[in-house]
Amino acid sequence: MRKLAAILIITLWHAGISGSSAQQPASIWDGIYSDAQAERGAAAYSARCASCHAVDLRGNSNAPGLLGVGFMFLWEGRSVGELFTKLRTEMPSDQPGSLPAQTYMDILSFILRSNQFPSSEKELTAGADWLNSVLITPK
């Protein structure tokens, strides 16, 4: 009986660990968004962001680029959650906060994919507070 209880406890403990790691990827390099989501984000980006940041995300004289070295210069060491908050509260700069939260997540996925961060099966969902602990780091 005692042995059974011990097995049960170990099983639950394991389930707890794997359950939470499925919810909380340790790193941006584990893949935190899905390809389908980045595709939706690309469409929303074209409609609402490309007029300032350019279709290829390289920016222009009015708005900064969101790619590569310039992007990492601003965002390296900061969290994905912070980037999400920036988008949701300040962009598009002519109509801040005008998109549904999930659309900002899709656009965020598109920006991550454009910067060569990997995808996975998981979707980024709005309100995921673990995003604040996932840092934007170079490979």
Sites of contact with ligand HEC (CB under 6 A): 48-49, 51-53, 62-64, 66, 71, 74-75, 86-87, 90-94, 107
Closest CB 63 distance from ligand HEC, rounded Å: 4
CB-wise, 40 or 48, nearer to ligand HEC?
48
CB-wise, 23 or 93, nearer to ligand HEC?
93
Residue 85: C-alpha distances to residues 5, 15, 60, 91, 136 (Å): 45, 32, 23, 9, 14
CB-wise, 128 or 136, nearer to ligand HEC?
136
Closest CB 24 distance from ligand HEC, rounded Å: 23
Closest CB 1 distance from ligand HEC, rounded Å: 58
Its sign, for the CA torsion 30, 35, 37, 42, is: positive
CB-wise, 86 or 122, nearer to ligand HEC?
86
Please, are residues 25 and 122 in contact by the beta-carbon 8 Å criterion?
yes
Residue 100: C-alpha distances to residues 2, 28, 30, 38, 103 (Å): 52, 23, 26, 16, 5
